[in-house]
Structure 1
């Protein structure tokens, strides 16, 4: 059986003393680190690109930048809503609102050049923001700038926060003094309120303009219809043709009743007396006069007869002299009426009814237009918009701006990032060589 060959492990002393074993198992230690030219370049770049700008910026912020005081205010647009009274014109709908949100319009106005010009005219913004010029050229306004430059500086000094979900606007204004910041915030609120009032006034004018035009047209129609009716009454000399017509119908019925009585009396006389009895002649004359009057009154309703036959009453008895045509003379020619001429009642009533219908329709249209105009005015008053302030412009007690540490820290981070990117790019190019 073969003997196992064992190999003894070298002792630590052997490892340390054996030159063939130690270099193979443990490499030689690295030489001591020392600064090279590239290290000096990176450090110099840090000093030049990071530290020097930070020191310069910090010195400017603490030594030359002027303090800025802030004033905060918050408001919203509210409208007076109410319930419309539709009892008169139940089908009319309520007045509609504007297509765009009032808060969006106000937000755009607060950032526009118009409000900058308006506040500048009231408070002289150029003098306020140019107080520290030229000492502070970073945060102060150059007084020689144009309105566009002032508008750009306005965006730096005025911050508008619009919460669309809640319908609120928060405004923060900064100025060299606390009183100036509060005055600018108050002026902004007043100008915004004026703009909202102008919008409400324009909405009221637009809502009532169309109804006012319709009301004016309806009034003109009513006036024309009433004038036409007045001319008709003056021409016909009849106030109410319908009442006059009813009266003449009643007159004809009365005359016919009297004629019937006279004819009965005449028949009785003819049967009881001699033919030459004078009472018979008197009865015949009375019947003839009544029959002629009936014919004249009936002729008023039919007008002139183109055939020349007239409107004759039915004959009572053959050969009766009373039954001769009461509208004809003895020679067969038409007899002249005793009232100055017959009136064409058919055309008269037709014209009167036409004028009456026109007047009634015009009056109803005028009533509807008047109710619509009143409803439009009431709706416009109910939808009057106003600017509701729930946080009045505050008066600051200490300057919070410019935020020096925030500006310095942000600048430091940006400079460090720029310097680190430069170093990484340098070493990436160096490793590729």
Structure 2
């Protein structure tokens, strides 16, 4: 009689602990759970390095490679709260996920916080990432086929925007230093040219070197005339008296030529009575200093311009982009929730718990 009671109790516990949960689960799944539709999109982050001319000549060409670091960032971004907030503002995720009013288990409570929505997002959007190949597959669930595809499309668009932003930041970082150096070189060249222009405006001399050559020619001509006049005067002294008018005229001519030579030499900075900064020696020294500054500024500008062009070419040569090998799909039939699988799982775990509890009970009973 006691054995029969134990068997009845064991059978009752089996019904309550295993059969009842299975029936409740199956009843809910088949009567209240709303169908869910899946949309799948798959893509990868590609970094395409365009070959330089030297590499083309050598027959070496870069091929598109996967950006694993960018894919890691993208994997975290898709599951982040920022992605949820962005798509909620764009698409209205709360409205999409809270449509099944009679399904509190699989539906989203519209009064939930952004943290609740993020947790629910990670339940409804599965991200599969293969670090070896860099491929990312996203499966979005929703209670309407169109909503699932809209969510998958939004994920792909926001992912592409993130990769574009990362590429732009990397490009700006690559060219920022070269651009700053170019701007400094331009300002240095402008200042050097302004100083040289101011010098020419003040002195009214375009090129002191050319002007000096002209003055040297004048000085050489005067010295030649002086030598000829001295010879004529010597000849007159030998053939005439001391008071001869021609001799006095030759001496006056000599004095005028010598005075002119002295004045020209003072202008060239070679005389004893120079005019300070206005003599040709000072002007030529100042002009050469300004010319050297301008030449150095021009060389710096050319070097900075070449470095800037090279940095821009390097930034353009390496570009990131999102390559989608599976476009967002549109489901024709519902595959979720997996009612048979969920019911079988509940039954399996309930049976395991029931068996464990029965073993513990009989073990304790036998010891008594």
Aligned length, in residue pairs:
356
Cα deviation code 1:107-130 (max 9, x no counterpart): 111111222222222322222221
CA RMSD of aligned residues (A): 2.8
Aligned twin of 1:128: 96
Confirm whether residue 373 of structure 1 aligns to residue 288 of structure 2.
no
Which stretches in structure 2 are left out of the alignment for 5+ residues?
55-66
CA distance in structure 1 between the partners assigned to 2:276 and 2:159 by the alignment: 78
* Shift of residue 145, structure 1, vs aligned partner: 1.8
* Residues 74 and 391 in structure 1, CA contact (< 8 A), matched pair in contact too: yes
Q: Which residue of 1 aligns with 2:188?
A: 221
Q: Counterpart of 2:357?
A: 422
CA contact 1:71–1:174 (8 Å) conserved in 2: yes
Determine the structure 1 residue equivalent to 2:261.
294
Confirm or deny that 1:412 pairs with 2:341.
no
Name 1:204's counterpart in structure 2. 171
CA contact (8 A) 1:299 1:343 kept: no
Displacement of 1:350 in angstroms is 2.2
Matched residue, 1:49? 17
Q: Note closer, same or farther for the CA distance 1:341–1:395 as it changes in structure 2 (3 Å cut).
A: closer
Change (3 A) 1:273 1:303: closer
Match of 1:12 in 2: none
CA drift at 1:351: 1.9
Local SS of the residue matching 1:73: strand
Of 251, 255, 268, the residue aligned with 1:284 is: 251
CA distance in 2, matches of 1:292, 1:190: 89
Q: Give the TM-score normalised by the residue count of structure 1.
A: 0.74
Describe how 1:106-121 pairs up with structure 2 within 5 A: 106-121=74-89
The aligned residue for residue 347 of structure 1 is: 282
Match for 2:218 among 247, 251, 256? 251
CA distance in 2, matches of 1:250, 1:418: 118
Quick check: 1:299–1:342 contact (8 Å CA) kept in 2? no
Residue 193 of structure 1 pairs with residue 160 of structure 2: yes
Structure-2 separation of matches of 1:409 and 1:342: 104
Give the structure with the larger helix fraction: 2
What's the counterpart of residue 154 of structure 1?
121
Distance in 2 between residues matched to 1:256 and 1:37, nearest whole Å = 147
Task: Give distance in 2, aligned partners of 1:232 and 1:411.
Answer: 94
Where 1:302 maps in the other structure, the secondary structure is coil
Gaps of 5+ in 1: 1-32, 87-98, 312-339
**1:169: Cα distance to partner?**
0.8
Instruction: Report how far residue 396 of structure 1 moved.
Output: 1.4
Per the TM alignment, residue 175 of structure 1 is displaced from its structure 2 partner at its CA by 1.2
